[in-house]
Amino acid sequence: MEFRDAPPARRYAQIVGPTVVVIGIVGLILGEQSLLDVLNIDIAEDIIHLVTGGLLTYVGFAKTEGSVVRAVVGGLGVVYLLVGLVSFAEPNPLGLFPSEYSTLDNLIHLALGVLGIGAALLSGGKATTARPAPR
């Protein structure tokens, strides 16, 4: 299945997954500081980025069933959306991170959440397996 033929959830996973992994790697290299004095970077968030980005990358590129791709993309979309919403009220949700989320962090989480949920919903009725059709 070519990228342009892939359902929205798989395309989302193929783009966002590797991007989030790179963000996690860059964060680990930079250490616990803010990126350009705008984005929160710390080890706990970097590990979360590596895990969630790795999961998205796997379902995006592996021969996983469309229902699994939709579930992962939609589920992580809900998580990203909740993180964005909660962080506007409490910039350091549950005290998990040494640094607080910035407004830009929150907007990115909200955008990833809305796009992930939308991609999962738009992929609902399609046959989205990455396996080739039987001959």
Q: pLDDT (tens digit, 0 to 9) for every residue of the chain, 135 residues total?
A: 556 678 999 999 999 999 999 988 988 888 777 666 667 777 888 899 999 999 999 999 998 888 899 999 999 999 999 988 888 787 776 666 656 777 888 898 999 999 999 999 999 854 444 555 555
Asked if residue 134 belongs to a domain, the reply is: no
Residue that the structure tokens 């959440």 belong to: 113
Asked if residue 67 belongs to a domain, the reply is: yes
Query: What is the domain count for the chain?
Result: 1
Q: Residue 7, Cβ neighbours under 10 Å: how many?
A: 23
Buried b (16+ CB within 10 A) or exposed e, 55-87: bbbebbeeebebeebbebbbebbebbbebbeeb
Q: Residue 6, Cβ neighbours under 10 Å: how many?
A: 20
Asked if residue 130 belongs to a domain, the reply is: no
User: Cβ(128)–Cβ(62) under 8 Å?
Assistant: no
Asked if residue 128 belongs to a domain, the reply is: no
Domain that holds residue 39: 3-122
Query: What's the token pair of residue 47?
Result: 């590990």
- Provide the pLDDT for residue 97: 66
Asked if residue 56 belongs to a domain, the reply is: yes
pTM: predicted TM-score of the whole model, two decimal places: 0.80
Asked if residue 131 belongs to a domain, the reply is: no
